[in-house]
Amino acid sequence: MLYRCLEDSITKRLDDNKAIILYGARQVGKSTLLDQLAPKLAKPQLWLNGDDADTRSILASSNATRLKALLGKTRTLIIDEAQRIPDIGLTIKIILDQIPGIKVIATGSSSFELGNQINEPLTGRKWEYHLFPLSYEELVTHTSPLEEQRLLEQRLIFGSYPEIVTHPGDENERLKLLADSYLYKDILISEQLKKPEKLEKLLQALAYQVGNQVSYNELSGLTGLDNKTVEKYIQILERAYIVFRLPSFSRNLRSELKKSRKIYFYDNGLRNAVINQFAPLAIRNDVGALWENYMISERLKACAYHRLYTVSGMLQKQMAGGHSVFQTPLLLHITLKSAKSSLLSLITIFCLNSKLEACTMVAISNLHLGIMAEG
Report pLDDT for 252. Answer: 55
Pairing between β-strand 76-80 and β-strand 45-49 as defined by DSSP bridges: parallel
pLDDT digits (tens, 9 = 90+) for 179-191: 887 666 666 656 6
Q: How sure is the predictor about 295, in pLDDT bands with cuts at 50, 70 and 90?
A: confident
- Answer yes or no: are the C-beta atoms of 323 and 336 closer than 8 Å: yes
Report pLDDT for 162. Answer: 95
pLDDT digits (tens, 9 = 90+) for 59-96: 987 899 999 999 999 999 999 989 888 889 899 999 99
| CA pair distance 107, 26, nearest whole angstrom | 10
Provide the mean pLDDT of the chain.
Answer: 80
Query: Who wins on pLDDT, 336 or 216?
Result: 216
| CA pair distance 2, 34, nearest whole angstrom | 12
Report pLDDT for 115. Answer: 62
Mean pLDDT, residues 116-123: 76
- pLDDT at residue 224 is higher than 80: yes
pLDDT digits (tens, 9 = 90+) for 228-286: 989 988 988 888 889 998 876 555 555 544 556 789 999 999 999 999 999 998 899 88
Report pLDDT for 166. Answer: 94
**Residue 320 DSSP code:** P
Q: What fold, for 6-130?
A: Rossmann fold (3.40.50)
**H helix or E strand, kind and range, residue 107:** strand 103-108
Report pLDDT for 356. Answer: 47
Report pLDDT for 189. Answer: 59
- pLDDT at residue 367 is higher than 50: yes
Query: Who wins on pLDDT, 136 or 115?
Result: 136
> In the chain, what percentage of residues exceed pLDDT 90?
43
Handedness of CA 353, 355, 358, 364 (dihedral sign): positive
Most confident of 205-209, 298-302, 344-348: 205-209
| pTM of structure | 0.84
Residues 6+ apart with CB under 8 A from 75: 41, 42, 43, 44, 45, 101, 102, 103
Report pLDDT for 338. Answer: 45
- Answer yes or no: are the C-beta atoms of 164 and 158 closer than 8 Å: yes
| Location of each CATH 3.40.50.300 domain in the chain | 6-130
Query: Who wins on pLDDT, 159 or 257?
Result: 159
Residues 6+ apart with CB under 8 A from 11: 37, 40
The residues that bridge with 313 in the sheet, in sequence order, are 327
The residues that bridge with 350 in the sheet, in sequence order, are 333, 360
Report pLDDT for 14. Answer: 96
pLDDT digits (tens, 9 = 90+) for 298-334: 888 988 898 765 444 443 333 333 444 444 433 344 4
Report pLDDT for 114. Answer: 63
Report pLDDT for 145. Answer: 86
Report pLDDT for 306. Answer: 83
* DSSP secondary structure, 164-227, as one string: HHTSTT-HHHHHHHHIIIIIIIIIHHHHT-S-HHHHHHHHHHHHHTTTS-B-HHHHHHHHT--H
